[in-house]
């Protein structure tokens, strides 16, 4: 007797995929061209054809609890060659956005990051938070807060105390880290169970030591952007992505060094432009601006490829971080006190925005894709 399988589609999931950029999903007629032309799709249960089937049927759990949508680097080879213009790359991008919402709590924040009407409120939150914390701590510790025209040499710490900035940013980073910890833990458990069910792995449990070794093998491929180099469409994105990635790495190193200098060595800024660490900061800032502009240029030059709100929000945020960061420094060197302090305050808002909302935005793919690629390496999924 033939086995009967009852499928209960999640119609809201289908609708959400469409709203997030996968509105051409229903054009797919399962020719499998997408899986054939994808240069990085595994031979064992290749993507994105099976994801197109599951998305059409609204099988949310099968998709958001899988590592495969994250192995896709959205190069666009499949969308370019799709005879029906169903744009599988955009569908997988929408699935990844859904996965971020699924594993990041509270979900109201994930929904807000995908809603352009909520952007003013999301930007207002860090501004109000900085104002409240500054007012309270200023009264307790008796320091001046938010003076946009202090006398003497322009020092941003005169307007917003350095340690106040660190407290505000560390709380945002701590919230993001806790959110990622809970989300990644669930995600890793789910993708392993999914892989077992689909025969992508035979390992019954995830060995911590083996997973760490897989991570060590995966990181060089990420830093080299090796997967981007295997694609043919949008291959130029590899350069702009690397500029942004290494800019963030450089700025993280700079921040860490200055943190030690301030609290460990009691060496306070502003620092000389001849300081090698300052060189790294300036090079990283310029790379961030150039990389984000190149990414925006690439998206604007390909109107046939869908760019959802979440894409533009990330690009605008990255560009804003670079422009306000470099702008605060250049206006300080130019002696424009009022402008410099104002630009610096905007920069603080954007930095807090980046930290606190990281697990809910498209930027979260840095974490989830790394986990998925590491799991694929661990499971021997080539």
Report the pLDDT value the prediction gives residue 147, as an integer from 0 to 100. 65
Domain-located, residue 271: yes
Measured in Å, how far apart are the chain's first and last C-alpha atoms?
A: 37
The pLDDT mean for the chain works out to 88
Domain-located, residue 339: yes
2-11, 12-21, 74-83, 211-220: which range is least confident on average?
2-11
Domain-located, residue 22: yes
| 258 and 373 co-located in one domain | yes
pLDDT tens sequence across 70-97: 999 888 889 889 999 999 999 999 999 9
Backbone angles phi, psi at 364, to 5 degrees: -65, -15
Q: What's the mean pLDDT in 157-184?
A: 90
| 150 and 282 co-located in one domain | yes
Q: How many domains does the chain have?
A: 2
CA separation for the pair 138, 159 (Å, rounded): 11
Q: What is the dihedral of CA 170, 176, 177, 183, to 10 degrees?
A: 170
104, 128, 148 — which closes off a domain? 104
Domain-located, residue 282: yes
| 204 and 305 co-located in one domain | yes
Domain-located, residue 5: no
pLDDT tens sequence across 289-328: 999 999 999 888 876 677 788 889 999 999 999 999 999 9
Domain-located, residue 3: no
Question: Which contiguous run of DSSP H or E holds residue 310?
Answer: helix 309-334
Q: What's the mean pLDDT in 26-51?
A: 89
| 229 and 136 co-located in one domain | yes
Within 13 Å and on the Cβ side, how many CA atoms surround 291?
A: 22
Expressed as residue numbers, the domain containing 141 is 108-379
* DSSP for residue 270: P
Domain-located, residue 48: yes
* DSSP for residue 199: T
Cα 140 to its chain centre, rounded Å, is 37
| 99 and 113 co-located in one domain | no
| 118 and 47 co-located in one domain | no
Domain-located, residue 127: yes
104, 128, 163 — which closes off a domain? 104
Q: With the C-alpha atoms ordered 363, 368, 371, 372, is the resulting torsion angle positive or negative?
A: negative
Cα 61 to its chain centre, rounded Å, is 22
CA separation for the pair 103, 90 (Å, rounded): 20
| 114 and 263 co-located in one domain | yes
| 121 and 100 co-located in one domain | no
104, 134, 162 — which closes off a domain? 104
User: Helices (H), strands (E): how many in the chain?
Assistant: 18, 0
Backbone angles phi, psi at 90, to 5 degrees: -70, -35
CA separation for the pair 334, 379 (Å, rounded): 55
| 141 and 86 co-located in one domain | no
Tokens of 323: 């422009």
Distances from the Cα of 303 to the Cα of 242, 322, 362, angstroms: 23, 25, 20
| 279 and 152 co-located in one domain | yes
Q: Are 254 and 277 in contact (CB under 8 A)?
A: yes
* DSSP for residue 151: S
CATH of the domain at 44: 1.10.1060.10
Report the pLDDT value the prediction gives residue 44, as an integer from 0 to 100. 79
Backbone angles phi, psi at 272, to 5 degrees: -65, 145
| 236 and 173 co-located in one domain | yes
Tokens of 226: 């090796």
CA separation for the pair 194, 102 (Å, rounded): 16
6-9 contacts, C-beta under 8 A, 24 or more apart: 7/57, 7/59, 9/57, 9/58, 9/59
CA separation for the pair 131, 138 (Å, rounded): 10
pLDDT tens sequence across 56-68: 999 998 999 999 9
Tokens of 241: 């992505």
Three-class SS state of 362: helix
Report the pLDDT value the prediction gives residue 189, as an integer from 0 to 100. 94
pLDDT at 32 over 50: yes
Q: Are 52 and 208 in contact (CB under 8 A)?
A: no
Report the pLDDT value the prediction gives residue 125, as an integer from 0 to 100. 96
CA separation for the pair 157, 150 (Å, rounded): 10
| 290 and 242 co-located in one domain | yes
Cα 50 to its chain centre, rounded Å, is 25
pLDDT at 246 over 80: yes
């Amino acid at each position: 007797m033939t086995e009967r399988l009852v499928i209960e589609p999640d119609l809201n999931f289908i609708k959400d995929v469409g709203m997030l950029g996968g509105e051409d999903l229903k054009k797919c007629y399962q020719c499998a061209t997408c899986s054939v032309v994808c240069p990085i799709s595994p031979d064992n249960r290749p993507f994105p054809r099976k994801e197109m089937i599951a998305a059409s049927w609204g099988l949310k759990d099968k998709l958001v609890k899988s590592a495969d949508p994250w192995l896709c680097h959205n190069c666009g080879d499949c969308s370019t060659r799709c005879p029906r213009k169903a744009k599988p790359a955009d569908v997988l991008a929408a699935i990844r956005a859904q996965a971020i919402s699924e594993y990041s709590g509270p979900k109201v924040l994930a929904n807000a990051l995908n809603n352009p009407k909520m952007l003013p409120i999301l930007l207002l939150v860090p501004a109000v938070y900085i104002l409240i914390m500054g007012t309270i701590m200023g009264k307790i510790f008796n320091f001046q807060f938010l003076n946009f025209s202090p006398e003497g040499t322009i020092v941003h710490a005169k307007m917003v105390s350095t340690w106040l900035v660190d407290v505000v940013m560390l709380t945002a980073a701590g919230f993001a880290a806790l959110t990622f910890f809970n989300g990644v833990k669930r995600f890793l458990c789910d993708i392993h169970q999914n892989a077992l069910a689909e025969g992508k792995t035979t390992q019954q449990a995830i060995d911590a030591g083996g997973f760490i070794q897989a991570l060590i093998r995966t990181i060089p491929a990420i830093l080299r952007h090796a997967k981007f180099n295997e694609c043919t469409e949008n291959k130029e994105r590899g350069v702009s992505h690397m500029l942004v990635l290494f800019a963030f790495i450089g700025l993280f190193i700079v921040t860490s060094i200055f943190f030690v200098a301030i609290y460990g060595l009691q060496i306070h800024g502003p620092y000389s432009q001849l300081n090698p660490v300052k060189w790294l900061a300036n090079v990283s800032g310029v790379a961030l601006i150039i990389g984000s502009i190149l990414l925006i240029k690439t998206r604007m030059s390909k109107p046939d490829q869908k760019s959802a709100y979440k894409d533009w929000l990330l690009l605008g945020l990255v560009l804003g971080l670079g422009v306000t960061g470099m702008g605060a420094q250049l206006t300080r060197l130019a002696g424009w006190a009022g402008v410099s302090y104002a630009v610096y305050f905007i920069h603080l808002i954007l930095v807090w925005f980046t930290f606190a909302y990281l697990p809910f935005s498209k930027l979260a793919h840095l974490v989830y894709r790394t986990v998925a690629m590491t799991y694929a390496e661990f499971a021997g999924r080539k």
